[in-house]
């Protein structure tokens, strides 16, 4: 077992994945189990043959997402303009591994990033169109904010204590007054519409690219129904200038939702920066950059 943030995590490796498949899905014993380039932290991912992938939650908090994805992804997929993961089977705890797990169809593509995206503005527009389609799906009965998705879709104020504590801890590492102004602006509004579907973690690691274009959206573990502001975060983590403007225009969000999106981006960058300054200061440049983008964007709106 490994431990991080106080939560024990089972040791998950290729050998365990192989044994689980052989025991629970003997008809796939002939298929090789191989690691993938980006395995993830919330879940460990392995390829099963050429057409399947195994996804094993790494801790109890992430295991809550298995049943949700198994139930809802087949309903969402036909209504979206891009491929998303397709559940094939659900595995059970076994061999000392304590959680349910999933087998999905493999989706080809490279992880999105500056080196794989041909036209960032076109990419931003395609992503916004995907999110608009997702928000348009009937949300009745969908999973509301809760432990299964770390309260994405709920009030941003859920993380106020953590955000303000991070600002205090960082001190002169960031422009304190500007950060507080962004946070106050973000928490001054709430979602007034009916709950809508959101992805919950629109980040480069969950966006696939083929031939330079957005080709699939993966990892719906933090998805749910509620306030879609959390899906705006990529405006500051990846996009800028024309691409950010294209994303905002195509998404059609109002000023209050955009502001709450800034708050979600700031919160995540703050807690990431605090952690990295303690564990890996050399890697702190990225959350610093995101904080700077968020603060600058807010200043332009004044």
Torsion-angle region of 223 (φ positive above 0: left; ψ -120 to 50: alpha; else: beta): beta
Global pTM reads 0.94
At 301 the pLDDT is: 87
Could you tell me if 263 and 117 lie in one domain? yes
Residues 86 and 157 in one domain: no
Q: Where are the beta strands (DSSP E) in 11-60?
A: 33-35, 43-48, 52-57
DSSP at 94: B
HEC states along 97-114? ECCCEEEEECCCCEECCC
- 68 and 115, same structural domain? no
Higher pLDDT, 109 or 10: 109
**Is the Cβ–Cβ distance between 66 and 90 less than 8 Å?**
yes
Last residue of a domain, one of 88, 106, 124: 106
Q: List all residues 6 or more positions away from 165 whose beta carbon is below 8 Å from its beta carbon.
A: none
pLDDT digits (tens, 9 = 90+) for 128-170: 999 999 999 999 999 999 999 999 999 999 999 999 999 999 9
Q: How many domains does the chain have?
A: 2
139 & 190 share domain: yes
Q: In whole angstroms, what is the distance from residue 227 CA to residue 196 CA?
A: 7
- Give the contacts of 239 (CB within 8 A, at least 6 positions apart): 120, 124, 247
Residues 97 and 115 in one domain: no
Q: Are residues 90 and 128 in the same domain?
A: no
CATH number for position 164: 3.90.1200.10
Last residue within a domain, chosen from 75, 106, 137:
106
Q: Are residues 285 and 200 in the same domain?
A: yes
Domain, as residue range, for 87:
2-106
Do residues 189 and 297 share a domain? yes
The answer to whether residues 54 and 193 belong to one domain is: no
**pLDDT at position 10, please?**
86
Q: How many Å separate Cα 232 from the centre of its chain?
A: 11
Are 186 and 276 part of one and the same domain? Answer: yes
Q: Which of these ranges, 36-45, 79-88, 148-157, 183-192, has the smallest mean pLDDT?
A: 36-45
Q: Which of 38, 73, 106 is the last residue of a domain?
A: 106
Predicted confidence at residue 287, as pLDDT, reads 98
Based on the fold, state whether residues 66 and 117 are members of the same structural domain. no
Whole-angstrom distance, CA of residue 240 vs CA of residue 242: 6
Q: Does one domain contain both 91 and 167?
A: no
How confident is the model over 227-266, as pLDDT tens digits? 999 999 999 999 999 999 999 999 999 999 999 999 999 9
């Amino acid at each position: 077992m490994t431990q991080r943030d106080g939560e024990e995590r089972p040791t998950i490796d290729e050998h365990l994945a192989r044994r689980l498949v052989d025991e629970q899905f003997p008809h796939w014993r002939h298929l090789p189990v191989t690691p993938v380039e980006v395995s993830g932290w919330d879940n460990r991912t392995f390829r099963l043959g050429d057409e399947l992938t195994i996804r094993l939650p790494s801790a109890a908090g992430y295991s809550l997402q298995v049943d949700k994805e198994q139930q809802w992804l087949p309903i969402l997929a036909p209504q979206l303009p891009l491929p998303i993961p397709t559940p094939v089977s659900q595995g059970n705890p076994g061999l000392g591994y304590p959680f349910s797990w999933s087998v999905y169809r493999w989706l080809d593509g490279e992880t999105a990033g500056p080196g794989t995206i041909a036209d960032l503005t076109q990419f931003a527009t395609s992503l916004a169109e995907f999110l608009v389609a997702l928000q348009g799906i009937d949300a009745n009965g969908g999973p509301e904010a809760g432990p299964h998705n770390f309260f994405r879709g709920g009030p941003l104020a859920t993380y106020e204590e953590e955000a303000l504590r991070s600002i205090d801890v960082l001190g002169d590492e960031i422009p304190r007054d500007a950060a507080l102004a962004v946070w106050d602006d973000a928490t001054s509004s709430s979602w007034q519409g009916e709950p809508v579907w959101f992805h919950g973690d629109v980040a480069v690691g969950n966006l696939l690219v083929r031939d330079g274009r957005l080709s699939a959206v993966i990892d719906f573990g933090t998805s749910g129904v509620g306030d879609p502001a959390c899906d705006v975060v990529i405006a500051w983590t990846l996009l800028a200038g024309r691409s950010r403007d294209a994303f905002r225009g195509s998404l059609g969000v109002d000023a209050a939702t955009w502001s709450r999106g800034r708050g979600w981006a700031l919160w995540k960058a703050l807690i990431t920066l605090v952690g990295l300054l303690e564990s890996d200061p050399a890697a702190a440049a990225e959350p610093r950059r995101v904080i700077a983008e968020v603060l600058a964007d807010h200043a332009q709106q004044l």
